[in-house]
Amino acid sequence: MKLAVLSLAIVTCAISSAQTFTNVSFSTTIPGASAAFVSSGNSFTANLTGFQISASQLTGDIAWIYDFNSNPVSAFNSVTIEIGGSTINGVVDFFGNEKVFDTSGTPFQVADGLVNGSGAGGGTFDDWVYTGTYTFSQPVTKGQVHKDILFADGFFGTGISEVRYIKQTFGAVPEPATMAALGLGVAALLRRRRR
């Protein structure tokens, strides 16, 4: 199959406390499908248009690589993937992987997870959402995410499925000041309880 490679883009959130996400590559096997990339705080989203599975296109693949920098957050310790779409009169199945690398020095893999789910719909377009969280083997300040996901019609062309977005939200390592404040709060509750 021929991959339609979309143009590269650098996306930085305008909020001063936001992280930086840089798109390295995005490709899909669905002719005419495209993505618009949006970052907000700890999240980076590919909003998809034209990614549709049906009798005329029984399968479609998405491959996406991007870099991230946690600054000013001290580091990230996990990432949650969310895939959203809708289906009518059928089922869409998807299978792939989510790999995260620490690139602050010599690249080192910190997460390797399975993306495996499905979405179904009846006589009208029904929305579905898949989520999966992947914990890193060590905190990461600068890294790269790789994902490759295959979507397939589960009922062999009887329905239509659209994948509308893929969103990644990173979990921040708590700051020492936050942990100290939390500890003081717990201590105060324990003292109050003893009285």
Tell whether pTM > 0.85.
Answer: no
One-letter amino acid identity for 149?
A: I
Predicted pLDDT at 191 = 58
* Secondary structure of residue 62 in the 3-state scheme: strand
pLDDT in tens, 60-114: 999 999 999 999 899 999 999 999 999 999 999 999 999 999 999 999 999 999 9
pLDDT in tens, 137-173: 999 999 999 999 999 998 777 789 999 999 999 999 9
Predicted pLDDT at 158 = 78
Predicted pLDDT at 40 = 93
Mean pLDDT of the chain: 85
Q: What is the mean pLDDT of residues 44-73?
A: 95
User: Could you give the CA distance from residue 43 to residue 33 in angstroms, rounded to a whole number?
Assistant: 22
Per the listing, tokens 């996400």 go with 21
| The two structure tokens encoding residue 182 | 């939390």
Q: What percent of the chain has pLDDT over 90?
A: 73
Predicted pLDDT at 126 = 95
Q: Is the peptide bond before 72 cis (omega within 30 degrees of 0)?
A: yes
Predicted pLDDT at 132 = 97
